[in-house]
Structure 1
Amino acid sequence: MKKEHSDSPWGRKGPSESQGSRERRDFKKSRRPEGRDGGRPSDRSKREGRPPAKREPVEPEVIRTAQGEQWLEAVCGVHAVGSLFHCKPFIVERLYFDAELAPMFGEICKFLAKEKKPYNQVEFDELCRQAGTSQHGGVVAIVRRRQPEMATTKAAEFWAKEGMPLLIIDGVSDPEILGRLARTSAYFGVEKFLIAASRKQARPNEVAYRAARGGLDMVDLRLVENVPSFLKGARKTHFVIGVDLEGVPLPEHMAICPEEDIDKPIAVVIGNEETGLHDSTKQECSALVGIPGSGAIDRLDVATEAALLLQKYLVEA
């Protein structure tokens, strides 16, 4: 495969057969292995009725820097990549996109060329390889990530002085749901998005970034070492509301908030998508509320629960 170049911005007018054009042409040809019938393997699989071969996830490339260990990972989808360049453009290391979406990325390619970072218009198979999934939406950005900072009660005290609400996620195991929760948090302007540091808690990955549609890059994601211990300290600065099936059905804020806590910003706590909050976490909440329904199913999905609580106690309050 030819080496990618970024010194010539994509789309610039020039000779009909410039060096960059030849390299992109050769790059595309190199991604088209031919079989006996002259077609790509994925095309033959479709014609023969066989499912395409599964692609193994791409292992993150670890980078050690003076600021600590970092790694490269993929962000997929037009909304997620667009938000990434809007919020954190300098963490992008490479960009890949298909021909259909190419006109959308002119300004972004100019930025990457200025930063001497590579970008390329590629075929579907190469996008799959870079993303580690076929659900890439036609664009993949390879970005530099680092371990999120830990949330502390001292930080919560500062956030409370600034009037900042919190959304705390304790035990959500599905990365897609985590992404939707981040999108909900960004939608309601809740910048502080805290997740448990436990092994059962999903972490951001390409699935979460795609589901968040840019939300994960709009929030300040922090890790919480021990959620019950953190809530015990955070109750001094925030009014902590947990979701519980047996809680009071969405009461008014004044009905559950003591007078001495009425001026505190809220902190909404969301538990596992199947089992809800741990008992130890419930004990450290200022109030537990439920969401009434018809009873046909046991509960809503947690992203919808979070949206209802933020609407009720952040927007309406």
Structure 2
Amino acid sequence: MRHDPPNRPPRGPRPPGDAQPWGRAEVRGRKERFAERTASVQHVHAEDEHDEAAHALRERRSAELRLYGLNAVNAVFHRRPQAIRKLYLAEARIPALQPLLKWCVANRVGYRVVDELDLHKLAASSHHEGVVADVLREEPESVSTWLRDLPAGPQCAIWLDGVGNPHNFGAILRSAAHFGVSAILLPKHSTLALSGAAARVAEGGAEAVPLVRLGRSDNAIAQLRSAGFTLAATVVKGGSDLFTAAVPQRTIYVLGAEGEGMDRELAQACDLRLSIPGTGAVESLNVASAAAVLLSAWRAKR
């Protein structure tokens, strides 16, 4: 039986725009180009996922603070244990940290017993005292919130203008806790923040003294004055003698940066200028030592 071939279009030239049949080489080329485009899209997606993971890790790290030192870690445990995320300790510290370890077990917070070298690496310091902890960072509160909740009566706070050394910051926090300071005030754009080194030097004082973020200097000064505070600029020379001057019941000591001193406009905007008299054998005290003397003088006159 004869089979007639199916009807086919004539083999003449095709009109422009007509689709041409794909040869095997062209099909293979198209498949390769499709595979390349798919691989490129997958690579972009993988990069996006990697960037998102890296961003999440950076956010987590910025939200956490690595503390070290027995008093610094214990202070967090006693005031806000829910902030503790992970604990590392030397075996010799187990007896002293029993309450904290029991709390970690009860609340499913991980802890590890590690050797001295690991603690040194974790803390990036040899002053870890056998314990390191990752804790949630406590962000500074606004000046409005702080003033709203501040009790009436004598109050003292410290305004830090440009102070950046973490050891000085820690020493100031320790003195502030000792003398009952109401807050450490940080300028709007200050990069100063609590670090592991500052918390260790503060010996628990970092948990006792709140950090407060100010707004614009002129607005902050107006708010503080409205709350009954007198601003006292502390200067090396030319101020009233701290030990004979009348220090108001509600005082803000304004302390300048190490070396450069405080901003001149800020100093001029203050109500008082105070100096700590000395022998002249050295130019001045460092900012942390000066803070301790100033706070002692305020407390003595209460």
> TM-score if structure 2 supplies the norm length?
0.74
2:216 maps to amino acid: N
User: Contact conserved, 1:170 with 1:227, CA < 8 A, in 2?
Assistant: no
Cross-structure match for 2:23: none
1:115 paired residue among 107, 114, 117: 107
Q: Deviations over 1:13-39 (max 9, x none)?
A: xxxxxxxxxxxxxxxxxxxxxxxxxxx
Amino acid aligned to 1:242: A
Q: How far has the Cα of 1:63 moved from its partner? A: 4.8
- Residue aligned with 2:175, SS: helix
For structure 2, list consecutive stretches of 5 or more residues without a partner in the other structure: 1-54
- The match for 2:37 is none
Identity of aligned residues (%): 26
Superposition map of 1:143-158 within 5 A? 143-152=135-144, 155-156=146-147
CA deviation map 1:61-115 (0-9, x unaligned): 5457xxxx96122100011111111222110111111122221111110011111
Match of 1:252 in 2: 244
Task: Tell me what 1:296 maps to.
Answer: 281
SS at match of 2:266: helix
Contact 2:161 2:256 survives alignment (8 Å)? yes
- 182, 185, 190: which one aligns with 2:173: 182
Task: Give the counterpart of 1:102 among 73, 94, 97.
Answer: 94
1:75 aligned residue = 67
Partner of 1:210: 200
Task: Quote the Cα distance in structure 2 between the aligned partners of 1:311 and 1:60.
Answer: 44
Deviation at 1:162, TM superposition (A): 5.6
Contact kept? 2:153, 2:250, Cα under 8 Å: no
Q: Which residue of 2 aligns with 1:276?
A: 261
DSSP-derived class of the 2:87 partner = strand
The 3 A distance-change label for structure 1 pair 127 and 275 is same
Per the TM alignment, residue 287 of structure 1 is displaced from its structure 2 partner at its CA by 0.5
**Contact conserved, 1:70 with 1:146, CA < 8 A, in 2?**
no
User: CA separation of 1:81/1:155 partners in 2, compared to 1, >3 Å: closer, same or farther?
Assistant: closer
Deviations 1:3-57 (A, max 9, x none): xxxxxxxxxxxxxxxxxxxxxxxxxxxxxxxxxxxxxxxxxxxxxxxxxxxxxxx
Aligned match of 1:310: 295
Q: TM-score, normalised by structure 1?
A: 0.70
**CA-atom RMSD in angstroms:** 2.5
Q: How far 1:229 sits from its partner (Å)? A: 3.9
CA contact (8 A) 2:243 2:297 kept: no
Equivalent-residue separation in structure 2 for 1:136 and 1:145 (angstroms): 19
For the pair shown, which has the larger CA radius of gyration, 1 or 2? 2
Counterpart contact for 2:146–2:212, Cα < 8 Å:
no
Letter matched to residue 193 of structure 1: I
Q: Distance in 1 between matches of 2:189 and 2:168?
A: 16
Q: CA deviation at 1:267?
A: 1.3
1:82 & 1:203 partners in 2: Cα distance? Answer: 20
SS in structure 1 at match of 2:269: coil
Whether the 8 Å CA contact 1:253–1:313 is kept in 2: the answer is no
